[in-house]
Amino acid sequence: MESVIIDISLEILILTFAIAFLTWVLQNVWRQRREGDINEHGPVRGCRVFTMITVLSNVIISIVYLDFGLYEYWNHRIITIKSVFLFMTWVLATLVAVLSKNRTLSGNKRWPLILVLWWVFSLIVDSVSLTIYTITHLKSIDFPSPFPEPNMVDFASFPFTILLCFNAFPTSCTRKHSDIVEPLLQKENESSLGDDGAFTTAGIWSQLTFQWLNPIFKRGRVQKLELPHIPPIPQSETAENASLLLEESLRKASSLPKAIACAIWKPLFMNAAFAGVNTIASYTGPLLITNFVNFLLGKEDDSGTHYGLILALIFFFAKTVESLTQRQWYFGAQRIGIQLRAALMVLIYKKSISTKYIGLSNGKIINLIDVDAERIGDFCWHIYGVWLLPVQVILALIILYRNLGAAPSFAALFATILVMVCNTPLVKMQKRLHSKIMEAKDSRIKVTVETLKCMRILKLHSWEPSFLKKLLHLRETERSWLKKYLYSCSAVAFLFWASPTLVSVVTFGVCIVLKTPLTAGTVLSALATFRNLQEPIYNLPELISMIAQTKVSVERIQDFIGEEDQKKLIHDHTSNALNIAIEIDIGEYAWETSEEKLRRPTVKILEKMKIMKGYKVAVCGTVGSGKSSLLYSILGEIPRISGGGITVYGRKAYVPQTAWIQTGTIRENVLFGKEMNEAYYEDVLEACALNQDIKIWQDRDLSVVGERGMNLSGGQKQRIQLARAVYSDADVYFLDDPFSAVDAHTGTYLLKKCLMQLLSQKTVIYATHQVEFLDASDLVLVMKAGRIVQSGRYEDLMADSNGELVRQMAAHRKSLNQVNLLQDDNTLTTRPHEINQIEVAEENFEGPINNGKLKARTEEEEETETGRVKWSVYSTFVTSAYKGALVPVTLLCQVLFQGLQMGSNYWIAWATEVEGRVSRKHMIGIFILMSGGSSIFVLSTIAVETAQRLFCGMITSVFRAPISFFDSTPSSRILSRSSTDQSTIDTDIPYRLAGLPFALIQLLSISILMSLVSWLVFVLFLAIIAISMWYQDYYITTARELARMVGIRKAPILHHFSESVSGAATIHCFNQEERFVTRILSLIDDYSRITFHNSATMEWLCVRINFLFNLVFFLVIDNELVLVLDEGNIVEYDSPAQLLKDKSSSFSKLVAEFLRRSSKSNCHWDIS
């Protein structure tokens, strides 16, 4: 009796240490998940050896206990509780040692106290055991029985425990200059952490149950959520920190995949712990079903009622652990994906504005962030399947081996592999069809972009019907591929639901051939195991497909970031010779081409040239002579293929030939990131002939221009970007045909007031077709075929009668004379008279902007619906195709499917309840017919026609909209509806719509089964359903607003990307890269904080719903225990009780899936 007490006491102590270790690990994991991995110091060399020996000793002892446990089970088929507790505690101790290793290496810091106490406790126990063994065998002294008996593990672990206790004492590890380094790093870390919002400051319990979201839910119930209401994301997950971590890893690694793995391996490892615990907990139910059913049937003769209670508690604990770890696993995967996606977006953005000559179109770069970066981020969700799949298969085989034996287990493995192989051609077909869909979608989106850019021209010429017809034709091509893709999805769904039937038939067939006994417990346990295998079987092809797609996306991004960065061909520094502004050396410049052999110089400079400060340099030539290319070469936008290069002294400003105007106010476009200087600002507006316009506009210079300056005339856009360049107060100005968009009067005014007066002390190089403006320059460069064929003062070049400039002037006068002959008035003013700005404003401007309504529409955030989704939205989607006639057919198929599924399981439970009730062949035959026949009804869910009609309605409305709609609505918003939202309607909503009633029917079937077991449990189930609906209603208000904000916050990122890529040359020239990167970081963080909290809200709901239904599950088991004590009722309720136990094992997961589908569907409906 005393020995039993001591053994129990030791087990309790060991379990206490295990719980303490687990608590320490959770606290450490949550601290790192909350604060990120912040290393204050590098490792200390003097401590590294002792620390590694300590960790290695823990690992060796864990392996010794594992080997001993396997040895005992293999020889005696017995595993003692003490052995399990010891192995589990040493594993946790090893994990604590690994996690605290970095802290110990960083300086004079001790190991955690709980770890040291465990080492000392283990040393004492081993010492006592070995002492007793030595005395007993050497001197034959009989000790009282309460003392523990030693075993070989004590001998093996004793030297390691001594070593651990020795290393537990602190060593004299020192660090050079620690008194200098530590305060600086601590101060930096303290300033960098800051206030990271509710998640960072939340405790363990709050993070475990997502209580930190409660303030958001409370606010969302009383008012519409806006971005300021959403807390910031953790500092370690901001776009800036994530991108810096990835860039640092990229510098160390040789490729992007290695850099990504190096950047996120720590959070992946921490999240993998939740995934592993969740997988193990999910197989606890199938493992113990046999024991519970045998207990219900009274086959456990030696066990009392407490045995059933212990089983019930284990079930409840396992389901609770499964629910909590699943929520943390899913949320952790989402967080890693958000962090990785943000880092890739920033990396691509930085590369896109710092890389030249890449030759990629705007659309391809947008695809890199909108498609490829998103896909890589989503892969963080699927990556765990790489190692979870074999773990799940192994656990399933262990359960089958325990219940059915070796042969049926290997038969099940063979059937599983067979189903996976059958999935492979379907996945290949889906991949091919998906590629076709994307090609068709790219063609449609390309035409849509071109149409939106030219909508004003289309409406002017009444070309809308022809372009609408072309778009609908492209959509019809896309629809044909989409229909085939959805048919293949139905085939995959059929195989998914038929796979448990195939695996179970093969397994039970082998059992019948080998005459393996089949009881209700073993059969139901096998069926539950097959259902757990169903998900990895289904996910394997998707996992393979995701790996392939992610690999392609990673390669695309790697190819892009591998492009050569911008070379510093021009230098901003002060000249030694104070009068020199630009030095041009002999060289050749050419655009990048796909084939180097075909690369010919675009610009060829044949002699050295120096441009003095304050010079006005005019570049002239015929169309295609290379004027713009010369400016690009000086700016460094065209790569140099030979020669010495070009040096520019001082700051630069650039005015492109095609106006680049940012979406924003007039003032923002002129200031372009500089501080406001009122006096100089007014002088710039006056010199650029903008004052009169600003006085007319309702909001003056705070008037908001549309996307790409759509609501401005060409002359207004040209003068605004000229004002932007002048206000920058640069040293050297590059103007590419600045007078092309204005008339002769305005051009003369700009030349006199802007170039000759305000910029009189500046160096200006301007390319122009207007030969009448050449005589105002100090130097004229004449271009022909990419070469400077003449250079000098205007008078000197005109004096050369055989020169290129004289020839071009003669050709110009000849063409003007031919035009003048067609006019009544045969006079032409070649040198316009002097005019004032009022005359310019009256003659040149196409009309003032009435900015009252424009400003309200352009600055206003995208409109979103509030409150619940109206029933009319649901009815519109359901009845769009065939007036909703297919809805009853689909519902009937789903009811028949679920009915046959439940019937097949009930049949197998009833047939195996009593030995010999039916023959085995008869039992398996009917099971095949019912279970296999049910899978056929899955082939009924297709919604192509609905998506097509909604698309036609949307695109027709866009073409019928007035031109004012396109002036005030960014094209990115319309494209988002036509691409992302339409894809959601094509594939996502039909999937959720089909799964929603399917899950509901499953819940109803289980509730009916509950009513057969006990009406009291059914009443409790209804009460829990009511509470769950209240939770969902409480959740959906906030979740719907967050889901709507996700789409709204994505559009500004794409718009900023597109805008920055289009104006990359201007951004380079003004050295504004840092400001634009700061802006994209802010936009990405805004998007990330919405997606971060949107993902967390779903987990908040699932945690609460899962716990409620886990409680119902526990009470159902308790009710079955009560029935066991009532011998008069047990026979009546045997089969339903057994079947209910099987179904209840996945009950909470089913409820969570139902709520997830219904909530997601609710949140997605507003895109209609």
Which has more confidence, 247 or 1129? 247
Residue 853 confidence (pLDDT): 39
Q: pLDDT class for 1148, splitting at 50, 70, 90?
A: low
Residue 364 confidence (pLDDT): 67
Supply φ then ψ for residue 297, to 5 degrees.
-85, 0
Whether this model's pTM surpasses 0.85: no
Amino acid present at 577: A
Summarised one tens digit per residue, pLDDT across range 437-483 is: 777 777 777 777 777 777 778 877 788 788 888 888 888 887 788 77
Residue 1116 · residue 1140 · CB < 8 Å = yes
Which has more confidence, 425 or 1140? 425
Q: What is the mean pLDDT of the chain?
A: 71
- Taking 70 as the threshold, does the pLDDT of residue 938 lie above it? no
- Alpha-carbon torsion 575, 580, 581, 586, what sign? negative
Summarised one tens digit per residue, pLDDT across range 941-979 is: 445 666 677 777 777 777 777 777 776 666 666 766 666
- Residue 228: CB atoms within 10 A of its CB come to 6
Supply φ then ψ for residue 705, to 5 degrees.
-90, 155
Which has more confidence, 665 or 837? 665
Range 478-495 average pLDDT = 76
- Taking 80 as the threshold, does the pLDDT of residue 655 lie above it? yes
Range 738-762 average pLDDT = 83
Question: Could you please report the per-residue DSSP string of 167-190?
Answer: HHSPP----TTHHHHHHHHHHHHH
- Taking 60 as the threshold, does the pLDDT of residue 923 lie above it? no
Q: Which tokens hold the place of 747?
A: 């051009």
Q: Which tokens hold the place of 995?
A: 């799964």
Q: Where do the H-state alpha helices sit in 760-821? A: 794-799, 804-820
Residue 182 confidence (pLDDT): 39
Angstrom distance (rounded) from CA 359 to CA 473: 30
Residue 97 confidence (pLDDT): 78
Residue 714 · residue 658 · CB < 8 Å = no
Q: What percentage of the chain exceeds 90 in pLDDT?
A: 0
Range 425-431 average pLDDT = 75
- What's the Rg (C-alpha) of the chain? 38
Q: Where do the H-state alpha helices sit in 454-516? A: 455-461, 464-514
Residue 428 confidence (pLDDT): 74
Q: pLDDT class for 912, splitting at 50, 70, 90?
A: low
Summarised one tens digit per residue, pLDDT across range 98-134 is: 777 655 544 445 677 777 787 777 777 777 776 766 6
Which has more confidence, 898 or 84? 84
Summarised one tens digit per residue, pLDDT across range 370-422 is: 777 888 888 887 788 778 888 888 888 888 887 777 887 788 888 877 877 77
Helix (H, G, I), strand (E, B) or coil at 616: strand
Residue 1015 confidence (pLDDT): 62
- Taking 80 as the threshold, does the pLDDT of residue 190 lie above it? no
Question: What interhelical angle do 113-139 and 2-35 show, nearest 10?
Answer: 150
- Taking 50 as the threshold, does the pLDDT of residue 82 lie above it? yes
Q: pLDDT class for 871, splitting at 50, 70, 90?
A: low
Give me the count of residues in the chain: 1168
Range 680-692 average pLDDT = 85
Summarised one tens digit per residue, pLDDT across range 60-77 is: 777 777 767 666 666 665
Range 794-812 average pLDDT = 80
Angstrom distance (rounded) from CA 349 to CA 148: 67
- Taking 50 as the threshold, does the pLDDT of residue 263 lie above it? yes
Which has more confidence, 485 or 299? 485
Summarised one tens digit per residue, pLDDT across range 293-308 is: 677 666 555 555 566 6
Residue 36 confidence (pLDDT): 53
Lowest mean pLDDT among 97-111, 153-167, 648-662, 941-955: 97-111
- Taking 80 as the threshold, does the pLDDT of residue 173 lie above it? no
Q: Which residues partner with 642 through β-bridges? A: 588
Residue 723 · residue 690 · CB < 8 Å = yes
Q: Which tokens hold the place of 347?
A: 């990396």
Summarised one tens digit per residue, pLDDT across range 318-337 is: 888 888 888 888 888 888 88
Q: Please state the separation of Cα 563 from the chain's center in Å.
A: 24
